[in-house]
Amino acid sequence: MVNLSQEQDQISLSPLQMLQSSTFYWLFCALFCCSFYGNMFYNLYKTFGETFIDDDMFIAYAFSIASICNALARIGWGILADRTSFQVSLSAATFLATVLLLTMPLTPAGGKWIYFIWMNLMFICLAATHALFITASVKCFGSGHKSINYGCLILSTTLSAILLAVCCEYVLTVVGYAFSFLITAILAFLGTVC
């Protein structure tokens, strides 16, 4: 019988030890950036789409298909991470998300089908966050305290959600979608380099 957790059992940091590790803060920042761009698009895909698509059913169907792409992509990102590394996989996802966010303001010129493609690609990028960070947490800090350690790491998503709420309330109405996508693309890019 093969012990699949043998490599992970070699390291097992307590939450206090993890909080003293610079790796934790790099992962925390990367997850903050990834969850910000993910939550921004997930929360605003419909309102942005409705600025140029007059078909609620199309947007609903597009979301359904994008959700299926998201679910399948989680498996794909996991396979890619197993064959390469967390950093390669996350860099691919965040780089693609950066390009998509930078070009998102151009999708109205291409119409609803270009938006449909961009939306599905964005949901594929969003899947990387869910598939990769739990794995990175266990690989970096061990499985002995994985629930508490991941709980500390996932706190970054709460902080990014608070920032997103403030930005949507006060910044989006002033600068509009195009500039908001630009700011979010910068955060996605920072997720690439973290």
> So what's the pLDDT on residue 9?
52
Q: For residue range 133-177, list pLDDT tens digits in order.
A: 999 999 999 999 999 999 999 999 999 999 999 999 999 999 999
Q: For residue range 105-130, list pLDDT tens digits in order.
A: 999 999 999 999 999 999 999 999 98
Residue for token pair 């869910």: 130
Instruction: Please name the amino acid found at residue 144.
Output: G
Banded pLDDT at 49 (limits 50, 70, 90): very high
Using DSSP, state whether 172 is helix, strand or coil. helix
> So what's the pLDDT on residue 2?
35
The CA distance from 161 to 124, in Å, is 20
Domains with residue ranges and CATH for the chain: 37-193 (1.20.1250.20)
CB-based contact 135:12 (threshold 8 Å)? no
Distances (CA, A) of 155 to 24, 35, 115, 146, 192: 12, 11, 31, 14, 20
Taken as a whole, the chain contains a residue count of 194
